[in-house]
Amino acid sequence: MKKNILLIHTGGTISMQLNTETGGVILSAANPLAMEIDNIQQFANITEIEAFNLPSPHITPEHMLELKMMIDRKNAASDFDGVVITHGTDTLEETAYFLELSTNYTIPIVLTGAMRSSNEIGADGVYNLMSAVRVAASDNANNKGVLVVLNDEIHTATNVTKTHSSSVSTFQSPQYGPIGIVTKSAIHFHHAPLARICLPVELIDKKVAMFKIYAGMESDMLLSVASLGYDGVVLEGLGQGNVPPALLTGITHLLNENIPVIIVSRCFNGIAQDIYAYEGGGKMLKDMGVRFEHGLSGQKARLKLLLELCLA
């Protein structure tokens, strides 16, 4: 028996046409994927809705929350066997992680997109959508959290990131790799997440800033954060989680203002750890009250802190 899949469109390259000479895009009310739905119906019974029609740089946490609430309103856990969301690739990993944190469904929620628009040679949107629907309809995809499916690979929302600006194989999970693959005949999973957390946010009413740390960085931007009304700060630290000594003034000010400071590593692989006790070192920062997030990118640590603050 075919599964029932809720398909939500948000816009992005998968549903646009690109003018390669001018850079203009056409985001029409008629989704270019519509003509392919009959082909996709062979894998599942599709119920389509359009949430937004936006390029992914326009997506905000408020849009992400609306997606979460839309899934809730559709009573997805009772009426559908899975959810597929089409999304632009620039912020796809952030929306995926937001939904990973804010939902707690046993059915799969799968995000997919395209690196080449529907009128470009080698357009990958329809194929990725078919793959995502096949994954969402797989019994083995249950209880694995929010997934990202592109280029025949299945990734977790927590680990996946966009690693190349234009390659169709851009989505990778550094250190961990995909948790499964899509073949012509089957969906194969070879491992699964160990644990999940749920932050069931219902309102976005906080602001979290993020800074990438660089050599010689000073405290002026951190000192301005409190006066600008931010409620938390994420720092992409050097190496295993270190900062230039000149930042300590700003970090101390934030902590004194009860503004939480989270540190991750700006490195592509590895995690932030409280190793060094020198001035600005990770051990010193932890002793000051800075919190370490292990294995998250800056943008995902920012979303996690945002949801925590919104629930506080």
The two structure tokens encoding residue 115: 């690196």
13 labelled catalytic: yes
Whole-angstrom distance, CA of residue 183 vs CA of residue 131? 9
Which parts of 103-179 fold into alpha helices (H)? 125-136
CB-neighbour burial class of residue 221 (10 A; exposed 0-12, middle 13-18, buried 19+): middle
Whole-angstrom distance, CA of residue 117 vs CA of residue 123? 6
Contact present, 112 and 84 (Cβ < 8 Å): yes
Cβ atoms < 10 Å from Cβ of 242: 25
Active-site choice (13, 103, 112, 158): 13
Cβ neighbours for 121, distance < 8 A, ≥ 6 positions apart: none
Q: How far is CA 99 from CA 64, 67, 132, 158, in A?
A: 7, 8, 16, 10
- For the annotated catalytic residues, the residue numbers are 13
